[in-house]
Amino acid sequence: MERIVIDPKIMHGKPVIKGTRVPVEVILGSLVSGMNYEEIEKEYGVKRGDIVAAIEYAAKFVIGEEVRSLKMKL
């Protein structure tokens, strides 16, 4: 993850796009809200590879998670 850095001196240690103060969570939130890659690139001054790196970073947290059905007792 050479495009994502975690530095306690930048954005309180949140993962950010290297060379910027743009947190990964902002990139992901922008995608969720419907912005496309080009809009995000223009809005935050990042590159397509940075956006992909943010998605890959987030994917690390869900890969291998086991999803289980929750059954409610009535």
pTM: 0.82
pLDDT of amino acid 52: 97
Mean pLDDT, to the nearest integer, of 8-27? 96
Q: Read off the tokens for 42.
A: 């223009």
Asked if the structure places residue 72 within a domain, the reply is no
Asked if the structure places residue 67 within a domain, the reply is no
How many structural domains does the chain have? Answer: 1
Asked if the structure places residue 26 within a domain, the reply is yes
- pLDDT score of 73 more than 70: no
CA 18 → CA 15, 35, 58, 73, distances in Å?
Answer: 9, 21, 16, 48
Angle of CA points 29, 34, 35, to nearest 5°: 80
| Domain CATH for 25 | 1.10.10.10
Note whether 26 and 59 are within 8 A (CB). Answer: no
Domain range for residue 14? 4-60
Asked if the structure places residue 70 within a domain, the reply is no
pLDDT digits (tens, 9 = 90+) for 23-68: 999 999 999 999 999 999 999 999 999 999 999 999 987 886 665 6
